[in-house]
Amino acid sequence: MSRVALVTGGQRGIGAAISEALKAAGRKVVASYAGNDAAAAAFTERTGIPCIKFDVSDFEQCAAAVQKIEAEHGPIEILVNNAGITRDGTMKRLSRQMWDDVIDTNLGSCYNLCKLVWDGMMARQFGRIVNIGSINGQAGQYGQVNYAAAKSGIHGFTKALAQEGARAHITVNAIAPGYVDTEMVRAVPPEVLEKIVARIPIGRLGRAEDIARGVVFLTADEAEFITGSTLSINGGQHMY
Ligand code: NDP
């Protein structure tokens, strides 16, 4: 069914694969991004998927964007909270700014966008929400106190909101990707990455498409009985 899907951070990395997979599944997809205009223009040209620029950590910008998307395309029935950043540093180096940036972008964004689409989903008695967490929110990671806290928060957020949406046929699930070959992971020093890959039973990094397949599955109309769950897609690296 041609439902409208908003994928945050949906024009590159994992988000781009999610946007394309949802489009292939027949959804009307809008991809959001923060500032990388070149990536957005190239993505729209290649896929035909429209992109919209706003900061997911800013409630007012989110509100204006949701209003614009719904006016142009129709009500958002599928929301994928994928946008995320890292600002890594051990506690010794972890500034208040690095903490706030990661919490606001990765976790605050889930509040902002869920809050803004929630009443509409409730009124229509249908919704599919997928929040992208992380293996590092499940297991923790040295030098990522801020990121692990935000991603772990996403998992709790998901379980709580799922309980509120269930009777209205709104499902809320999370996906916890392992290490996926995107720019975020390419920023990890090669010697560290080599050690990480050695710990992945499947023997390779994840591909963005591996995550996208999970999003298509969880957002299907038929997936109503799956809510409040976290789907780990990590090549067996962490069995939780
Ligand atoms: P990328 O760094 O490749 O892309 C991040 C995306 O988020 C971009 O589209 C970016 O927009 C957007 N974005 C960042 N900040 C904001 C903001 N403030 N407002 C709006 N959009 C924003 O990330 P990945 O594809 O690697 O990761 C996608 C998600 O998956 C993230 O939540 C990440 O934490 C999670 N994840 C990734 C893993 C991995 O191994 N790659 C592992 C586990 C989880 P722009 O291009 O304009 O900057």
Instruction: Give the angle 116-122-126 at the CA atoms, nearest 5°.
Output: 105
* Residue 187, pLDDT score: 84
In a domain, 239, yes or no: no
* Residue 184, pLDDT score: 81
Nearest CA to ligand 1 atom 33: 84
Distance 56 CA to ligand 1 centre (A): 11
In a domain, 132, yes or no: yes
* Residue 218, pLDDT score: 98
Domain that holds residue 174: 4-233
Total domain count for the chain?
Answer: 1
Atom of ligand 1 nearest to the CA of 136: 43
Return the H-helix or E-strand segment holding 65: helix 59-73
In a domain, 170, yes or no: yes
**Ligand 1, pocket-test mutation among 79, 130, 184, most atoms within 8 A of CB:** 184
What is the domain-level CATH number for residue 69? Answer: 3.40.50.720
The residue ranges of the chain whose pLDDT is under 50 are none
In a domain, 115, yes or no: yes
Describe the strand order of the beta sheet including 230-233 as a list of residue ranges.
Answer: 51-53, 28-33, 4-7, 76-81, 127-132, 170-177, 230-233
In a domain, 208, yes or no: yes
Say whether the ipTM exceeds 0.90: yes
In a domain, 67, yes or no: yes
Distance 123 CA to ligand 1 centre (A): 30
In a domain, 28, yes or no: yes
Atom of ligand 1 nearest to the CA of 211: 30
**Distance in angstroms between the alpha carbons of the first and the last residue of the chain:** 33
Neighbours of 221 (CB within 10 A): 12
In the structure encoding, which two tokens stand for residue 101, read together? 């940036």
Distance 167 CA to ligand 1 centre (A): 31
**Ligand 1, pocket-test mutation among 82, 111, 211, 215, most atoms within 8 A of CB:** 82
In the structure encoding, which two tokens stand for residue 165, read together? 């949406």
d(CA 168, CA 147): 31
In a domain, 43, yes or no: yes
**Ligand 1, pocket-test mutation among 7, 19, 33, most atoms within 8 A of CB:** 33
d(CA 233, CA 213): 10
Considering the entire predicted model, what is its pTM?
0.98
Eight-class DSSP state of 178: -
**Which of these, 219, 130, 134, 124, lies nearest to 172 by C-alpha position?**
130
d(CA 172, CA 129): 5
* Residue 88, pLDDT score: 96
Backbone region of residue 129 per phi and psi (left: phi > 0; alpha: psi in -120 to 50; beta: other values): beta
Asked if residue 210 lies in contact with residue 197, where contact means CB atoms within 8 angstroms, the answer is no
d(CA 117, CA 178): 28
* Residue 186, pLDDT score: 85
Decide if 147 is catalytic: yes
**Which of these, 154, 157, 158, 139, lies nearest to 196 by C-alpha position?**
139
Query: Which residues line ligand 1 at a C-beta cut-off of 6 Å?
Result: 8-9, 11-15, 32-36, 39, 55-57, 82-85, 105, 132, 134-135, 177, 179-180, 182-185
Name residues whose C-beta falls within 8 Å of residue 176's C-beta, 6 or more positions apart in sequence.
Answer: 133, 134, 135, 137, 138, 151, 155, 230, 231, 232, 233, 234, 240
